Amino acid sequence: MSNSNTSPVIMVMAAGAATRFGSAKQLARLPSGCTLVRHAALTAVETGLPVQVVIGAHGELVRAELVGLDIAIVDASEWWRGIGRSIAQGVDALLARGRKPSALLLTLADLPQVTSEDLLKLADLHQQSPDRLLVSGFGDNQGPPCLFPVDCLPALQALEGDDGARGVVKANAARVVAVPLAAAGFDIDKPADLLKMSR
C-alpha cells in the first residue's frame, strides 16, 4: 500500500447485514468464483492507491476473504446503526492512523462492474479539480463511487443512520460534479442479480 498521504484513499464499504439479500452478501460469489468483497478490494488495490475496507456484519468471515491483500481493514463495531455510522467509523480509523489524504474515494462492495479504471478516472479528475465533490452518474441517477475532498471528512465523521453520505453530497451541491459511470448503475441487491453478471 502506498505511503503517500497526498493521494486519495479508497474506502470500500462492506459492513452491512444485507437483509434484503437474505444472507451475507459480501460473501456471495460472482461467476468468476470470487466473493463480492474480495472482488471489490482487488479492484481497489489494482488502482495503486491506498485502500481501506470497512467490515462489520459477518466480520470474521469477511476478513478471511481479504487475507493476503495490501489493505487496511477497519472493524465498524457499530455497523448495526447503519452505513452512515460505518462510514464515520471508517474515517475515524483512517485519521487515527495519521493519514491525511487529499480525498476519500468511497465505494461499495456490491458494485461488481465498477473497474479499477473507473476508480482511477475519479482520482484523475480529482487531481484536475481538487475542490470538487465527484459522484458517479448513471442514467438519471447519481451515487457511489463518490470522491469527497479532504474538507468533507469532518462531515463524513458526523454521519449517523442509514442514509449514507447523501446528506454530505446535498450540503455541497454547488461543487458536485456528476461523472458518467454506467457501471455504477448495476449493484447486487438480491441473489438473482448475480445471474445477470456476464463475467
In a domain, 68, yes or no: yes
Is position 1 within any domain? no
The answer to whether residue 193 is domain-embedded is no
Tell me, what CATH number does 179's domain have?
3.90.550.10
Q: What is the pLDDT of residue 199?
A: 43
Given this model, what pLDDT does residue 19 score? 67
Angle, helices 36-45 vs 116-128, to 10°: value is: 40
CA–centroid distance for 173 within its chain: 20
| Alpha-carbon distances, residue 180 vs 11, 23, 164, 175 (angstroms) | 20, 31, 21, 16
Whether 195 is covered by a domain: the verdict is no
Can you tell me the distance from the alpha carbon of 82 to that of 29, in angstroms, rounded to the nearest whole number? 24
Contact of 110 with 41, CB cutoff 8 Å: no
**Phi/psi of residue 97, nearest 5 degrees:** -80, 5
* Location of C-alpha cell 498521504: 5
Residue matched to cell numbers 495503486: 48
Please count the structural domains in the chain. 1
Q: What is the pLDDT along the chain (199 residues), one digit of tens a residue?
A: 343 446 899 999 999 877 667 678 898 899 888 999 999 999 999 999 999 999 998 889 999 999 999 999 999 988 888 899 999 999 999 999 887 899 999 999 999 999 999 999 999 999 999 999 999 999 888 999 999 999 999 999 999 988 789 999 999 999 999 999 999 998 888 778 887 775 4
Residue 107's domain comprises 9-185
